[in-house]
Amino acid sequence: MADKDPIQLAELVDEDDSSAVLTAIQDIWRWSYPSVGFQPIPVVTGRILSLFKGEFSGYHACDTDYHNLRHTLAVFLATARLIDGRTVEKLPFKFDIARDLLLAALFHDTGYIRLIGEEAGTGARYTSQHVERSTRFVQKNAKALELECPDRIARMVWATGLRDEITVQDWASAEEREAGAILASADLVGQMADRAYLEKLLFLYYEFREAGFPGYDTEFDILLKTVGFYEMTVARLDGELGGVRSYLRTHFRERHGHDRDLYAESMDRQMAYLRGILADDSTNFRKKLRRMDLEAVHPRIA
């Protein structure tokens, strides 16, 4: 039988367009909080755009090609969709928790941005420290950004770490912990559901190389390791992070009329294609990755 519902995730919002992403999030916000102002989300979004462009005092421009503005916008949007799905399934978060959760999505990878004075290499050298650095960015700039509860935002950012941060964090409430799980889930699905995820893994390879991670001697190594990372990610999403990604299907069903988790479907397609690449040694893998110009993929430093 022909697929009667062929819509794919990438068709809904252009995640390269910050204005389109912010508009989509504002629309989602109004479903849950129709009588509460959307500020300060647009203001902080503008400051984050300035940060990534190198127009934020004290910081260089973003120079990591995987953990870039596009990734932050994807996580920002996925977070809003998860918040909305929770609203439909349960009750809305308290307004201030929802607000700070969206702000945490904007801040979650600011640790990759180099401070003026950090002149060696690129932000990739801080990969293993980037979560802590991101929380420091929140605390350092809280006054300038007029953040009401920087400590809570920082706790949510901590949840994106890939160790046991979600379980050992001293959360103020169960609701806040669930917000942390939502951000951690959005961080994972936001990147792995990208239609050019496999191509962008080559950028991640060069970030890992600069960070000094062992076991990444060739570009192909990161493809080999990604199947295992995917399996670990699914286990984490549905285990440690409490399965909150189920809110995505609720969001797409109620707001778009598609009773499907479009993120999970995109992730599954990526992995099926990757397994095909790994099983076929007759052609160079780069020839099978066609959603980006791979000539642009190269190390930022020699």
Using only the alpha carbons of the chain, give its radius of gyration: 19
Closest CA to 278 of 289, 267, 268: 289
The CATH number covering residue 117 comes to 1.10.1300.10
The domain in which residue 124 lies consists of 12-296
11 pLDDT exceeds 70?
yes
- Predicted confidence at residue 145, as pLDDT, reads 97
- Predicted confidence at residue 167, as pLDDT, reads 86
- Predicted confidence at residue 70, as pLDDT, reads 98
Structure tokens at 298: 């190269």
| Residues 204/66, Cβ–Cβ less than 8 Å | yes
- Among 39-53, 101-115, 205-219, 275-289, the least confident range: 275-289
Q: Is the dihedral of CA 48, 53, 55, 60 positive or negative?
A: positive
Domain presence at residue 5? no
Domain presence at residue 302? no
Q: Report, as an integer, the average pLDDT of 73-88.
A: 98
Q: How confident is the model at residue 141 (pLDDT cuts 50, 70, 90)?
A: very high
Q: Report, as an integer, the average pLDDT of 77-102.
A: 97
C-alpha dihedral (22, 23, 24, 25), degrees to nearest 10 = 50
Q: Which tens digits make up the pLDDT trace of 68-78?
A: 999 999 999 99
Q: How confident is the model at residue 2 (pLDDT cuts 50, 70, 90)?
A: very low
For residue 40, cis peptide bond before it (omega within 30 degrees of 0): yes
Domain presence at residue 261? yes
Closest CA to 197 of 98, 272, 295: 272
| Residues 171/180, Cβ–Cβ less than 8 Å | yes
Domain presence at residue 231? yes
Domain presence at residue 301? no
Q: Which tens digits make up the pLDDT trace of 39-62?
A: 899 999 999 999 999 999 999 999
Give the number of domains in the chain.
1
